[in-house]
Amino acid sequence: MDKKTLKAILDKKLDPINVKVRETNLAVEDLMISIKFRSSQYDDMIKKLEEFEKINKDVIQENERLKAELLRTANEVNQQKVTINNLEQYSRWDCLEIKGIPVHTEGSSRSDDLNDIVLKVANTIGVQMDMKDISVVHRLPRRRISNVSESSDNLQDHQPPNVIVKFVRREVRDNFYRARRNLKDKSARNLGFTSTNRIFVSESLTEMNKNLFNKCLNMRRDLGFKFIWTHVGKIKLRKDERCPVVNIHSIDDIQKIQVNH
């Protein structure tokens, strides 16, 4: 067998293998192209992910900055509210409120002379004062009670509106307020009325302080505090005679007592 014949036989035998090799090479080339394409896509995805992470980090930082600024603004607003409330409370320092004074109906034979009534209250509790010690006196509008759980010490629809008195001299005002304990066994009858309403004297509180005082009243009942009162608009609590006085300035003070009780 000569070389030419042998070559022809080998070519014939190797042709299928060569076809498979070429097909494999083409497949490998296609695979390499696909891998490069996928690699390029992966690189793009990694780049975009890094860009997203950077943007997300910036957003988080901006969000934290805005939260801090919002908190600072809220604190400033709350501080302004406290300052305004304190100023308003200070402006009420010379005032007291009297609860339980009946309102005379139209056509009554007696006039609703609040100045005279205030002097009768003073006489009843043993405080010396006359008309010139009263700067102004009038009834307050009825308070709307939106929360049925509010204290029974609040005004109800059937109760007369409070009478607010502004005193000329703070000394007289303080004597009047200290003597309020003498009303313990007294009622409107002692002032010449037919009503048996109990008479109470309290400091004139701002709306914010009244709300805080009402919450203290609820806590007093729930936790068994014996004493609650105000002094120049500041709320005081005392568990009993053996315990120290607790000053209440805000809701936070109430929550601290509730947590630690």
Residue 47 pLDDT exceeds 60: yes
Pick from 109, 161, 171: which is nearest to 138 by CA? 161
Query: Which sign, positive or negative, has the C-alpha torsion 112, 113, 115, 120?
Result: negative
Give me the residue spans of the domains in the chain: 1-91, 92-141+159-204, 205-260
Pick from 238, 222, 240: which is nearest to 230 by CA? 238
Q: Answer whether 183's CB lies under 8 Å from 122's CB.
A: no
- Rounded CA-CA distance 43/25 in Å is 26
Give 128's contacts (C-beta < 8 A, 6+ positions apart): 122
Element (H, E) at 43: helix 3-91
Q: What is the pLDDT of residues 103-133, one digit of tens each?
A: 875 444 344 589 999 999 999 999 999 999 9
Residue 34 pLDDT exceeds 50: yes
- What's the CATH number for 92-141+159-204? 3.30.70.330
Report the pLDDT value the prediction gives residue 68, as an integer from 0 to 100. 94
Report the pLDDT value the prediction gives residue 136, as an integer from 0 to 100. 95
